[in-house]
Amino acid sequence: YLRLPRLPLPKLEDTLERLRLSCRACATSEREVEQLESAIESFAAGPGEELQATIQMSEVSHEGYPHSWLQQFWDKAQNGIRDPAPVNTGAFFALEGKGTLA
C-alpha cells in the first residue's frame, strides 16, 4: 500500500468552501450563517495561509512515515482511544432532526 500515490493537499480556498457548505447545512439561523462567514474570513485572512504553508512544508519534507499530511492525525484518532464505541457516536445518531436515511 505504500506505493500508492500520496493524498493531495487541497487548496485552502477549496477546504474553506467545503467547510462553508457543510456548516451552512447545519445552521439553524441566518445569524449562525453570518457568524460562520465571519469566522471563515477571519481564519483565511489570519492564520489560514500560514497553517497551509506549514502543512505544505511538512508534505514536501516527509518521504517516509507519515506518508500523507493527514496520516498522523488519522492514526491518532483511530488508534488513540481504545474504548468501545457506543451507538450514539455516529454523526447521524447525534444530530437529531437534521436529516433522514433516505
Domain boundaries, the chain: 12-94
Of the chain, the percentage scoring pLDDT greater than 90 comes to: 43
Q: pLDDT band for position 49 (50/70/90)?
A: very high
CA distance 85 to 102: 24
Residue for cell digits 512515515? 65
Distances (CA, A) of 59 to 43, 67, 69: 21, 8, 6
Statement: the pTM of the whole predicted model exceeds 0.95: no
Mean pLDDT over the full length of the chain: 80
* Cell numbers found for residue 7: 493524498
Reply yes or no on whether the pLDDT at 89 is more than 70. no
**Helix H segments across 1-102?**
12-26, 30-43, 49-61, 71-79, 91-94
Task: From residue 12, give the alpha-carbon distance in Å to each of 9, 63, 70, 73.
Answer: 9, 23, 15, 18
Residue 21 clears pLDDT 90, i.e. is over it: yes
pLDDT at 1 over 60: no
Rg of the chain (C-alpha set):
17
How far is residue 34's CA from residue 27's CA, in Å, rounded to a whole number?
A: 10
